[in-house]
Amino acid sequence: MKRGTYIMERIITSLLETDAYKFSMGQAIYHQFSDYKTTWTFKCRNKDVHFTKEMVEEIKRQIKAYCELRFTEEELEYLENIVWIKGSYVDFLRLWQARFDDFTIDDNAECGLNIETKGTWLNTSMYEIPTLAIVNEVYFRMQYNYDELFESFKKRLAQKVEKVKDGTYKLAVFSEFGLRRRLSAEAQDLAVKTLAEADLKDSKFLGTSNVYLAKKYNVTPVGTMAHEWIMCSGQGNHKHNPAYSNWYALDAWVKEYGILNGTALTDTITTDCFLKDFQLTYATLFSGVRHDSGDPVEWGEKMIRHYEGLGIDPKTKTLLFSDSLDFERADKLFRHFNGKARVGFGIGTYISNDTDVEPLNIVMKTTRCNGQDVAKISDVKGKGMCKNPEYVDYLQRCIDWRLTHETKI
């Protein structure tokens, strides 16, 4: 079968086929920020990747098909049985449908693919993960011999899982986080099925961020908040000082969930700034923190010192690592932090798209909220995405001022 000469089957077949944190954030958005408007922008970070016009048309066709989907009653019942999901949000989802009119999709970009979505935060937040999954699968099916890629995927998956089964790698508790950058729906399904059924030594496979597959294989749907939550709830109100984005985000999260569903993301406007707001109340209420940029060992040791400084035993809190992990890196981190804190891992591309070719490094990020720029300034350069460098400079100056001038009262 020649690449690019066939019509693909529908890639996204269920509205549950998204990351769990989209429902976590979605419920809080519905209850507290339903009037917020956001713009999302696609970016391909690979320098040698080009999307053909045929790929762009197929991506457009697949997104139109996604926009036809509705939640089934069986899916809604599954969501309502998740302890932190409320009936009012489920009723909203019963009516919800993606709007293709919210999308702009064309070839007006350096990589050959431009995607932008504009609309309510309630809608546009839900588009990110299915869109990225569609882009990935279209690209790999049309650019390469997919059958050969899938065979290399299966071989590599079997080899790495065997090393967890025999105890070569000790991963403590880990989950699969690879929906947005998976080779294909078929590949991610196989990976989750294999891990869910494997008899693992010294490791526990908790679940997957893909709610559809969590339901299918009776494992835990894993995920709480993403950078968009801090960016929009903290910077979307133009009266807010953006250096306090984390406080606004944590406050709104606790109003929604109390002590439930609480893993805080630390690096949206640097972990140092996050720790200014992650004081005794929030550090007690949240069950742990997630690492997504910067040196993971330095970050983990910093978090342990912070908990200890607040009089909290770090052994009662979870350090969740999720930045570009493979089993070897996770094993080293577990061995380093074992006994110091609870340790968990969210492992994405290494599980869902490990083949003989390089995976795509694609993202879709919030670039505006309520008509104003928003930005992420993580613990390393290159992970942020904002169209207005003047706003990034303003945000950085606000952060710097707070870190150098703010003192405890």
CATH code of 241's domain: 3.20.140.10
Looking at residue 304, its pLDDT comes to 98
In a domain, 133, yes or no: yes
Range of the domain at 128: 20-144+362-386
pLDDT the model gives residue 4: 44
Q: What integer pLDDT is reported at residue 224 of this predicted model?
A: 87
CA atoms within 13 A on the CB side of 228: 30
* 42/179 same-domain check: no
Whether 296 and 368 map to the same domain: the answer is no
Same domain? 152 vs 279: yes
The pair of structure tokens assigned to 28 is 């809080």
Distance in angstroms (rounded) separating the CA atoms of residues 227 and 224: 11
Cα three-residue angle 76-79-84, rounded to 5 degrees? 140
Q: Are residues 135 and 179 in the same domain?
A: no
The strand pairing partners of 318, in sequence order, are 288, 342
Q: Structural domain tally of the chain?
A: 2
| 204: in domain | yes
Domain shared by 221 and 280, yes or no = yes
Contact present, 111 and 50 (Cβ < 8 Å): yes
Measure the CA–CA gap between 299 and 42, rounded to whole angstroms. Answer: 29
| 211 and 253 fall within a common domain | yes
Q: What are the C-alpha distances in Å from 247 to residues 128, 283, 390? A: 25, 12, 23
Note the pLDDT of residue 6: 54
Asked if residue 402 belongs to a domain, the reply is no
Tell whether 306 is covered by a domain.
yes
pTM: 0.95
- One-letter amino acid identity for 65? A
The answer to whether position 3 is within a domain reads: no
Answer yes or no: do 193 and 322 share one domain: yes
Torsions phi, psi of 114, nearest 5? -115, 125
Residue 282 lies in a domain: yes
Identify whether 391 is part of a domain: no
In this predicted structure, what is the pLDDT of residue 88? 98
CA separation for the pair 292, 204 (Å, rounded): 21
C-alpha angle with apex 16: 14 to 19, nearest 5 degrees?
Answer: 130
Same domain, 285 and 138: no
Would you say residue 169 lies in a domain? Answer: yes
What is the structure's pLDDT at 385? Answer: 74
Q: pLDDT tens digits for the chain (409 residues)? A: 344 445 689 999 999 999 999 999 999 999 999 999 999 999 999 999 999 999 999 999 999 999 999 999 999 999 999 999 999 999 999 999 999 999 999 999 999 999 999 999 999 999 999 999 999 999 999 999 999 999 999 999 999 999 999 999 999 999 999 999 999 999 999 999 999 999 998 899 999 999 999 999 999 999 989 999 999 999 999 899 999 999 999 999 999 999 998 899 999 999 999 999 999 999 999 999 999 999 999 999 999 999 999 999 999 999 999 999 999 999 999 999 999 999 999 999 999 999 999 999 999 999 999 999 999 998 887 667 788 999 999 999 999 999 999 776 4
**Judgement on whether residues 136 and 164 belong to the same structural domain of the protein:** no
343 and 374 share one domain: no
